[in-house]
Amino acid sequence: MVLERGLASTRVADIAKATNVSGGLIHYHFATKDDLITEMLRSTSGSEIQRLREIAAEPGGAVERLDRVLRFYIPASRSDQSWILWLDAWAVGVREAHVRTILLELEGAWIEILAEVISQGAATGEFTCDDPQGAAERIDGMLDGLVVRYTLHAGGMSRGRLLHHARVAAAREVGLAVAVFEDQSPAPED
Amino acid sequence: MVLERGLASTRVADIAKATNVSGGLIHYHFATKDDLITEMLRSTSGSEIQRLREIAAEPGGAVERLDRVLRFYIPASRSDQSWILWLDAWAVGVREAHVRTILLELEGAWIEILAEVISQGAATGEFTCDDPQGAAERIDGMLDGLVVRYTLHAGGMSRGRLLHHARVAAAREVGLAVAVFEDQSPAPED
DNA sequence: CCCTTGACTGAACGGCTAGTCAGTAGTAGG
DNA sequence: CCTACTACTGACTAGCCGTTCAGTCAAGGG
């Protein structure tokens, strides 16, 4: 519902209708609309973090694992609009500390996982990187920014180009050639 | 007003009060609140683009010019909250095409200028870069993402670190050492 | 079979705010 | 001096939507 209508203009009645439930019931379980929204964000962020950890933990070489994380980061396709939620949440988070906390956890998890994968790759000698934390922050930031662009402007950037950028930046951060990453999977075009 | 209260919860009455004008007058000049907001975004984006072009056009070597653009990109200090406007606008832009158009122009201008500065640097031999457009897209994306983090989470990242990241990424894109950029100006710490 | 409790409904309330409108004041043109 | 026009005001309205509340229903315990 929020992806469809936006955080700001989603009404309690919309959610009630979509869940085949009365408006009263929503307020029986959640004191205020803010509570409901915050809980939803917390839950969504939580499962995203969990899924991310699983994906990072799956076996494979450092290149393979890093590339898997990158691919999980970016939208699966044009029709994957899940990022809209976080664009909305950023705007709300400017004013609401609870939301900001959730966002901090989510971004923190991404950076932590990225830093960990890069560190491990450096430890095994597959990567060359003397500042995994910094590299993770830069990669995370770049993906955030590029995904905004991808999500907002249909024609502005293809998913393939987005993935390419991610791989170029990642490859540079860990001292490898892009080609090593591009071999991981074909880049789609939409 | 919008920076203070947010796009979503700024009332016409707030703007009227802040400008010492009646609510009626606002609607005398702007048919709807949306018109007013859109016009404000257009105007803000317009002067930002103009200022950006001026800054890029100022004389200097390629390193100096690129660094100047990077420094203009990131907030001047903790108290510079101008980026909040664009976080809000991203959220609105998801649903409103007019806003999306303005955002596309703004981002387009940034990328264009970055690409131009990098191209010129490559032409004079100061830089080594075989894909200025791609480099510009990556730098622009990274800055967007990092500025979101900087704006949202007071303790999460210092302005100095933000600038450092920008310079590391830029230096890498143009085939130089970071130190070349760090000499441009001392990095602040707030 | 009664009573309590928790889940749930739908109608109603009330605060908020975008947009309207009737009217005022100043100014320029004739 | 009259007219027309533009800028402007402030009170009002209409509708939206979060929240409340009185009451229904089913289940379980004693």
Residue B10, domain member (yes or no): yes
Residue A64 contacts residue A126 (beta carbons within 8 Å) = no
In a domain, B190, yes or no: no
Please indicate, yes or no, if residue B47 is contained in any of the structural domains.
yes
Question: Are residues A157 and A89 located together in one domain of the fold?
Answer: yes
**Chain B residues near residue A91 by CB distance under 8 angstroms:** 6-8, 87-88, 90-91
Q: Nearest C-alpha of chain B: how many angstroms from A5?
A: 8
Q: How many domains does chain B have?
A: 2
Nucleotide minimizing C1' to CA distance for residue B34: C18
Contact at CB, A6 and B138, closer than 8 angstroms: no
A60: left (phi over 0), alpha (psi -120 to 50) or beta: left
Residue-level length of chain B: 190
Give CA B101 to chain center in angstroms: 16
Residue B82 has pLDDT above 70, yes or no: yes
User: Given a cut of 80, is residue A185 above it in pLDDT?
Assistant: no
CATH number for the domain spanning A136: value is: 1.10.357.10
- Whether A189 shows a pLDDT value over 60: the answer reads no
Q: Would you say how long chain A is, in residues?
A: 190
- Shared domain for B89 and B136, answered yes or no, is yes
Q: Is residue A167 part of a domain?
A: yes
Within this chain, do residues B26 and B46 fall inside the same structural domain, yes or no? no
Residue A183 exposed, middle or buried by CB count within 10 Å (0-12, 13-18, 19+): exposed
Chain segment A11-26, per-residue pLDDT in tens: 999 999 999 999 999 9
Enumerate the nucleotides of strand D whose atoms come under 7 Å of any protein CB. 7-12, 16-22
Are residues A149 and B107, on separate chains, in Cβ contact within 8 Å? yes
Using the structure, give the distance in angstroms from the CA atom of B45 to the C1' atom of D6, rounded to a whole number.
Answer: 30
Residue B31: the pLDDT is: 95
Domain housing A113: 37-182
Residues B61 and B144 placed together within one structural domain of the fold:
yes
Contacts of residue A119, defined as CB under 8 A and 6 or more positions apart, other chains included, come to A129, A132
- If asked whether residues A78 and A127 sit together in one domain, one would say yes
**Range with the poorest average pLDDT among A30-34, A152-156, B55-59, B157-161:** A152-156
The answer to whether residue B189 sits within a structural domain is no
Q: Is residue A146 part of a domain?
A: yes
**DSSP, res A7:** T
Using a CB–CB cut-off of 8 Å, the residues of A that contact B are 6-8, 84, 87-88, 90-91, 93-95, 100, 103-104, 107, 134, 137-138, 140-146, 148-149, 151-153, 156-157, 161, 164-165, 168-169, 172
**pLDDT, position A155:** 86
**Nearest nucleotide by C1' from A33 CA?**
D18
Which tokens sit at B108? Answer: 């387009």
CA pair distance A26, A15, nearest whole angstrom: 8
Q: What nucleotide is nearest B33 when CA is compared to C1'?
A: C18
What DSSP letter does each residue of chain B carry, written as one string? -HHHH-TTT--HHHHHHHTT--HHHHHHH-SSHHHHHHHHHHHHHHHHHHHHHHHHHS-S-HHHHHHHHHHHHS-SSTT--THHHHHHHHHHHTT-HHHHHHHHHHHHHHHHHHHHHHHHHHHTTS---S-HHHHHHHHHHHHHHHHHHHHH-TTT--HHHHHHHHHHHHHHHTT--HHHHHTSS-----
How far: B8 CA to D12 C1' (Å)?
A: 25
Q: What is the pLDDT of residue B190?
A: 61
Mark whether A139 and A102 lie in a shared domain. Answer: yes
Q: What is the DSSP letter of A42?
A: H
Helix, strand, or coil here: A106? Answer: helix
Domain assignment present for A190: no
Residues 9-38 of A with CB under 7 A from strand C: 20-25, 28-29
Residue A187: predicted pLDDT:
59
Quick: pLDDT tens for B86-111: 999 999 999 999 999 999 999 999 99
Q: Are A148 and A61 members of one domain?
A: yes
Average pLDDT of the segment spanning A110-137? 97
Residues A66 and A7 in one domain: no
* Tokens coding A117: 């994968």
Indicate the residue type of B101: T
Q: Are residues A6 and A90 in the same domain?
A: no
pLDDT-above-70 percentage for chain A: 97
pLDDT, one tens digit per residue, over B18-66 is 999 999 999 999 999 999 999 999 999 999 999 999 999 999 999 999 9
> Is the model's pLDDT at B187 over the cut of 70?
no
Q: Which residues of B touch A (CB under 8 A)?
A: 6-8, 84, 87-88, 90-91, 93-95, 100, 103-104, 107, 134, 137-138, 140-146, 148-149, 151-153, 156-157, 161, 164-165, 168-169, 172
Task: Give the separation between CA A166 and CA A142, rounded to whole angstroms.
Answer: 8
The reply to whether B24 and B101 lie within a common domain is no
Could you give the C-alpha distances from B150 to A25, A142, B14, B48, B158, in angstroms and in order?
A: 39, 13, 28, 20, 7
Contact between the CB of A32 and strand D at under 7 Å: yes
With respect to residue B188, please indicate whether it lies within any of the assigned structural domains.
no
pLDDT of residue A190: 61
Whether B12 and B50 share a structural domain = no
Buried b (16+ CB within 10 A) or exposed e, A51-63: ebeeebeeeeebb
pLDDT digits (tens, 9 = 90+) for B107-165: 999 999 999 999 999 999 999 999 999 999 999 999 999 999 999 998 889 999 999 99
Query: How far is A40 from B145, CA to CA, in rounded Å?
Result: 23
Residues B3 and B74 reside in one and the same domain: no
Nearest nt (C1') from A19 Cα: C8
Nearest to A65 by CA among A54, A76, A56, A78: A56
